Amino acid sequence: MPRRKVVNQYRRWVSDQLKPLLPRGWELVPYTRVLDAIEKPTVMVRLNSISRLPEAPMAAHITEYVVTIVNPAADPGQADAALDDDIADLLHALDQTRNEHGLPVLRWTRAERVIYAETYLAFDISVEVITNATPNEE
User: What CATH number is given to the structural domain containing 51?
Assistant: 3.30.2000.10
137 falls within a domain = no
69 falls within a domain = yes
User: What is residue 89's DSSP assignment?
Assistant: H
In order of 5, 86, 95, the CA distances from 108 in angstroms are 27, 15, 8
2 falls within a domain = no
The total domain count for the chain is 1
Confidence at residue 3, expressed as pLDDT on a 0 to 100 scale: 45
Q: Is 60 exposed, middle or buried (0-12, 13-18, 19+ CB in 10 A)?
A: middle
pLDDT in tens, 84-121: 888 998 999 999 988 888 878 899 999 999 999 888 99
Confidence at residue 71, expressed as pLDDT on a 0 to 100 scale: 93
Residue 13: strand, helix, or coil: helix
Cβ atoms 70, 27 nearer than 8 A: no
Integer Rg of the chain from CA: 16
3 falls within a domain = no
Mean pLDDT of 132-136: 61
Phi, psi of 109 (to 5 degrees): -120, -25
Confidence at residue 7, expressed as pLDDT on a 0 to 100 scale: 53
pLDDT in tens, 12-62: 889 999 999 998 999 999 887 777 788 999 999 999 999 988 887 777 889
110 falls within a domain = yes
Which domain does 25 fall in, by range? 9-131
> Across the strands, what pairs with 125?
67, 111
